[in-house]
Structures are given as C-alpha cells and as structure tokens.
Copies of this chain bind each other. A is one copy, B any other.
Amino acid sequence: MRFRVASKLKYSVLGKGTLIFSVHALRSPSQTITDEKLLVTPPATCDEFNIQPGHNRFVRVEAGAGPEINIEYHAIVEAGHFLVPMKKLLAVPVGKLDPEALSFLFPSRYCQSDKLGRLAYQKFGSIRHPFRKVVAISDWIFENIEYVRGSTDSQTSAYDTVTERAGVCRDFAHLGIALCRALSIPARYLTGYAYQLEPPDFHACFEAYIGGRWLLFDPTRLVPLNGIVRIASGRDAADAAVATLFGPIRSKSMSVSCEAIDEGFEPINRQQLDNHGICLDPV
C-alpha cells in the first residue's frame, strides 16, 4: 500500500541553535520511499545521518539566519504490513533472545519497568502465551487509561500514567513498553505517520519482541495497524522525538498528513485479527 506523507514544522529562531529532526520515513525492507523531499526555508546547513546504520534517519539543521525556520517533508512510501499466525509467536526465554533485543529489556527514561514488576505480574503473569500477554497489556491500557489531549507533557512517564490514568499516544506506548519489559518481553517505542488518525498528527505506538519478530501494538486503538508508516524506533520517546531543539528556538506550529494513494485500503485493527499478530517488517 502506498501512502503520501507530509509534515510541516515552523519554529521561531531567537538566536543561533541547532534542530535535530526525526520526520523522515524509515528506509527498510518493508518501506520503499520515492519522491522524497525535504525543504528548509530559509536555506540552512543540513545534514542527514543515522546513529546506527540502517536505523532512524535524523536531519540536523543549523538555525540562525532569520527570525523563523520552516521544515517541510514530503514522501511517497510503499509500506508493507505482515500478518503472523499466533502459532509462530512462541515464547523465547531470555536465555535465547537475540542480543540486539536484550537492550530493549532494560528500563529507560519514560519506561521505568523496574518499578512495575509486581503490578505486571499480578495483572498479566498468569497468561502463558507471550502474544496473548501483550494483547492483554494493550487492551488493559485501552480500557483503563483515558485519552485526554493536553493532560500530560514531555516529562510524563509510565510511572505517572499507570496511576494518573490519562494521557496521549506517547503515554499509552510508554506504559505498554514498561509493562512488557517488567515481564521480560523486549519492547520498543515507534513513531510514525498514521493513516486515518483524527486529527492528523504524528503517532506513537509500540512493538514487542515475540518469537523473533517485532509485533506492533497500538493501545490507543485510534488507527488501523496497517496504516502506520514507520519514522523511527527506540527505547522510548527520548530516542525518537520528532524534534530536539538546542538553543533559543521555539516551536510555532506543526501540521502532519498521511493519505492513501492506492485504492482499496482495508483497515486491520487488532480486534479484528483472529490469532494473528501484525508486523511492520517482512516475516
């Protein structure tokens, strides 16, 4: 399925500074990108880089030439989504986990899994199958956390959300990640463009590592899972912020869009999946 994705971000520039963006769709075996364009006005020094090869694409922009800086990103992304039958989603004991998944077991800034152990075992410890366990986590978040715009800020973490019971997509994802890790299931944060998200915005959800694959979960249930275009993944929002600002730079406005180019999009929601997980990477 092809999507046309775009984002426009405006900043006030009060002095010299640097902006690091993570708005590019990821290039991967399941995401082919064409017609990609990044426009920075007024023109500024830019470099695109990865921290790890093949991973999140960052662009760094030097600000300082004017009172404002505008970033505009456009691309067409052919994005694949793969169904995996539950019988392939077997438990992998920590002793057999791929090393690269192990670091997604550790607690991080917004996902204090080390503090959620008893709670996670109480609620989900008796569920044997790891896929059902994460489904139960995601359902529990949907049912117990209220989606309330503006109720949280950039310092809010899973430890807050589990008690305060309100948040936005970022908070839902952080809580899902923290609960998975507390149960020794690697989990990571994902940001992306999301088709049919209302109102349009960047979206965040999470992936859990089960049976050697990263399975996608969205506890907000706001969008079809096959309408998500991956921008970045990481331990939590600290790794995958849309924009990180250094210096006297202030956000002014932001707009985001994601449209289907091909016809015949058939939404897949977790609830419809009968014994299947969904994966953004080829199986």
Chain A interface size, as a band, is 35 or more
Q: A18-B94, A93-B18, A108-B238 are in contact. Are A51 and B102 (CB under 8 A)?
A: yes
A157 — nearest CB in chain B belongs to which residue? B112
Q: Mark A1-35, 1 if CB is under 8 A from B, else 0.
A: 00000000000000000101000000000000000
* B114 adjacent to A154 (CB under 8 Å): yes
The verdict on A122 contacting chain B, using a C-beta distance below 8 Å, is yes
Q: Give chain B nearest CB distance to A125 CB in angstroms.
A: 12
Bound complex: CA A162 to CA B107 (Å): 19
Q: Mark A128-169, 1 if CB is under 8 A from B, else 0.
A: 000000000000000010100000001100010011111000
Contacts of A93 in B (CB 8 A): 18
Bound complex: CA A118 to CA B154 (Å): 16
**Complex copy number for this chain:** 4
The verdict on A103 contacting chain B, using a C-beta distance below 8 Å, is yes
Contacts of A58 in B (CB 8 A): 99, 102
A120 — nearest CB in chain B belongs to which residue? B165
Contacts of A166 in B (CB 8 A): 118
The verdict on A68 contacting chain B, using a C-beta distance below 8 Å, is no
| Interface secondary structure of A, over-half rule | mixed
The verdict on A276 contacting chain B, using a C-beta distance below 8 Å, is no
> Taking each of A20, A100, A122, A238, which has the highest tally of chain B beta carbons within 10 Å of its own beta carbon?
A238
Bound complex: CA A55 to CA B58 (Å): 23
A binding-site residues for B, Cβ under 8 Å: 18, 20, 45, 49-52, 58, 60, 62, 93-95, 99-100, 102-103, 105-109, 111-112, 114-116, 118-119, 122, 144, 146, 154-155, 159, 162-166, 184, 238-239, 244, 246
14 interchain pairs, CB-CB under 8 A: A18-B93, A18-B94, A20-B102, A45-B95, A51-B99, A58-B102, A103-B239, A106-B239, A107-B109, A109-B114, A114-B155, A118-B165, A122-B144, A184-B246
